[in-house]
């Protein structure tokens, strides 16, 4: 789910550092009464401001990317210190840079310059007040919250009186594999012991960030976050709900079938046949994806399913051959081969002699051609799909490399993930046959199982992807105080997901803090949008390629026409409003979730048949 398509340091905080240093040095050489004010600033001032910023920020971005690459591929105390120092510098200076850009808010400039100024002024996730002490306080809080999550563990005393502790990975394995409801509840509840101490810090963090947002001209952090989508903040909120309304019937059908399967497994006392589903039974710590309980809800009919891992091993695929296959996919669309440096500098295999971050990610280290992936590849289906996904990020990065520095990004924060997932949707049996991995195509009898597996992850995720920021927007906006944080969290989970807590939760539990993106302050709407856009992209590219098969069996492999349309969007980067980029591929300027309904149409028919006689909804 979380893939780093561009180094976080480069994409946000630290891109401000060098230019602000220059501004501060210049300010020291001039008296305060000669400094330009917002009333005396001109369009030419704005142009010079942006040009100088881009030149210096680009140089800084390369330094930051290299620093973090070394840190993540060679973890030790020294590289950690270098990365922390660079990150700290960017954090300290980012607010001043955004404030400098905000001074041009009322200066009349052309559309391109306005867009760049907006990117600079809105690029902060948690803007601190300009007050030095409050800036330092906010930095300290964010670091402490991140550390509390990262070091979180659930400890209890065993029968022998010894204390046993489990970290998140241990507890996730229990949620994934156990079918003992008591064990599931213990693991689910245990992880949520880490978050109550976060609440008071989180409350203060919001107070400080809202103060910083007001200094930038926004009502609060909610308005700041929602202003990054080329529309008014309230219009963006309405757009999210509109898209959810399109897919809600499919989700409700899936929910009804899954609830019935869980009821058969656990009985009415543990998994009621009506109402919300208890969150600890869905195979995931946050009930955001349900693929781990496929065995409990799978179709009864035996059907042939493609085992990609066995096909890879049988055909002697190694790590490099898997990546070469991903490259060949893009070459078939008309994209140029990856540069030699990609193969020389990427991390494909976990080194034996040092600690590294194995989490798959795609990197752009020089804003031109030094693109890489960082993985610890295993020969299995997940990594085969992940490679195609990560290369989608790399080809996106290379496509927009000639844009000005501030436009080196995706059309909105949902597009980058959506492009990677769009490519992964083309890993179909037809594609496997085309590249020689599969001799004969399975018949359509296996499609329902395949679609159900996908829906348990992709469709089940949608309401969770929506409600996380729905909660935060209301908290940031002051609609609910700290005493109501937890109640609001579970109200929204029941409203959107039809999921509830398996036990009563106290008001001070702060269950939102048990999800990394909350204490980590990572906006979440991007993931909801990515899940919508990937299917819209896929449907359009399949139509462009001349596909006549059902959309879930379509692969755009080999279609130069689809590749040309895709590249037209990728090359735009962040230079135009996202509806322009969307139109380049789909011909439409509106996001449309009906592509998900088209993709899962056979499954919806099957689910409706299974749900006959059941009371659906919650």
The tokens describing 443, both together, are: 């018949």
SS3 labels along 412-458: CCCHHHHHHHHHHHCCCHHHHHHCCCCCCCCCHHHHHHHHHHHHHHH
Phi-psi region of 492 (alpha: psi -120 to 50; beta: other; left: phi over 0): alpha
The tokens describing 482, both together, are: 């700290």
Longest dimension (CA), the chain: 81
* Size of the chain, expressed as the number of residues it contains: 618
DSSP state at residue 614: -
Q: Residue 124 in contact with residue 95, Cβ under 8 Å?
A: yes
What is each CA distance from 326 to 331, 400, 420, 429, in whole angstroms? 9, 20, 12, 15
- CA 288 to CA 274: how far, in whole Å? 20
- CA 496 to CA 494: how far, in whole Å? 6
Q: Residue 185 in contact with residue 280, Cβ under 8 Å?
A: yes
- Annotation says 517 is catalytic: yes
Which one is catalytic: 390, 417, 538, 552? 390
Pairing of strands 371-374, 361-364: antiparallel
Which one is catalytic: 416, 517, 531, 552? 517
Spatial CA neighbour of 474 closest among 497, 491, 498, 460: 491
Spatial CA neighbour of 207 closest among 468, 522, 476: 476
Rounded to 5 degrees, what are φ and ψ at 452?
A: -65, -40
- Annotation says 359 is catalytic: no
Pairing of strands 371-374, 163-167: unpaired
Catalytic residues: 390, 517
């Amino acid at each position: 789910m979380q893939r780093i398509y561009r180094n976080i340091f480069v994409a946000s905080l630290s891109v401000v550092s060098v230019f602000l240093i220059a501004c501060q040095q210049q300010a020291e050489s001039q008296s305060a009464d000669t400094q330009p004010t917002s009333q005396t600033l001109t369009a030419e001032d704005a142009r010079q401001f942006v040009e100088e910023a881009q030149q210096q920020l680009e140089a800084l971005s390369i330094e930051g990317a290299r620093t973090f690459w070394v840190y993540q591929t060679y973890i030790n105390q020294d590289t950690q210190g270098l990365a922390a120092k660079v990150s700290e510098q960017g954090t300290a200076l980012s607010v001043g840079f955004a404030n400098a850009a905000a001074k041009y808010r009322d200066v009349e400039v052309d559309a391109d310059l306005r867009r760049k100024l907006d990117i600079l002024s809105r690029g902060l996730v948690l803007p601190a007040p300009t007050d030095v002490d409050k800036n330092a306080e906010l930095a300290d809080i964010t670091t402490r919250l991140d550390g509390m999550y990262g070091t979180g563990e659930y400890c209890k005393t065993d029968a022998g009186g010894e204390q046993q502790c489990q970290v998140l990975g241990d507890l996730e394995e229990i949620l994934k594999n156990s079918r003992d409801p008591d064990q599931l509840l213990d693991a689910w509840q245990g992880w949520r012991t880490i978050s109550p101490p976060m609440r008071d810090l989180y409350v203060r963090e919001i107070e400080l960030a809202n103060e910083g947002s007001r200094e930038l001209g926004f009502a609060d952090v909610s308005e700041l976050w929602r202003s990054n989508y080329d529309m008014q903040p309230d219009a963006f909120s309405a757009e999210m709900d509109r898209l959810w309304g399109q897919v809600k019937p499919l989700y409700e059908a899936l929910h009804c079938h899954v609830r019935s399967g869980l009821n058969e497994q656990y009985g009415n006392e543990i998994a009621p046949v009506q109402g919300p589903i208890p969150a600890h039974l869905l195979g995931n710590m946050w009930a955001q994806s349900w693929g781990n309980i496929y065995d409990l809800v799978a179709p009864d009919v035996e059907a042939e399913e493609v085992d990609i891992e066995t096909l890879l091993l049988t055909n002697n695929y190694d790590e490099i051959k898997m990546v070469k296959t991903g490259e060949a996919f893009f070459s078939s669309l008309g994209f140029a081969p990856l540069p030699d440096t990609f193969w020389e500098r990427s991390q494909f295999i976990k080194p034996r002699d040092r600690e590294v971050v194995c989490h798959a990610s795609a990197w752009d280290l020089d804003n031109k051609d030094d693109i890489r992936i960082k993985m610890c590849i295993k020969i299995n289906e997940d990594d085969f799909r992940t490679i195609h996904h990560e290369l989608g990020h790399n080809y996106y990065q290379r496509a927009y490399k000639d844009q000005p520095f501030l436009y080196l990004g995706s059309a909105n924060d949902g597009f980058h993930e959506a492009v990677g997932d769009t490519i992964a949707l083309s890993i179909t049996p037809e594609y496997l046959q085309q590249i020689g991995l599969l001799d004969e195509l399975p018949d359509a009898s296996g499609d329902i199982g395949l679609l159900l597996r996908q829906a348990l992850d992709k469709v089940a995720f949608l309401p969770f992807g929506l409600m996380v920021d729905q909660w935060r927007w209301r908290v940031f906006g002051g609609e609910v105080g700290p005493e109501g944080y937890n109640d609001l969290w579970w109200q929204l989970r029941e409203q959107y997901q039809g999921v509830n807590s398996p036990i009563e939760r106290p008001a001070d539990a702060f269950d939102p803090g048990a999800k990394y993106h909350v204490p980590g302050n990572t906006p979440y709407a991007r993931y909801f949008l990515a899940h919508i856009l990937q299917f819209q992209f896929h449907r359009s590219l399949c139509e462009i390629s001349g596909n006549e098969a059902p959309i879930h069996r379509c692969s755009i492999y080999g279609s130069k026409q689809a590749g040309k349309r895709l590249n037209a969007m990728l090359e735009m980067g962040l230079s135009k409003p996202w509806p322009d980029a969307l139109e380049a591929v789909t011909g439409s300027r509106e996001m449309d979730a009906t592509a998900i309904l088209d993709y899962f149409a056979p499954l919806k028919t099957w689910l409706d048949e299974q749900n006959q006689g059941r009371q659906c909804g919650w």
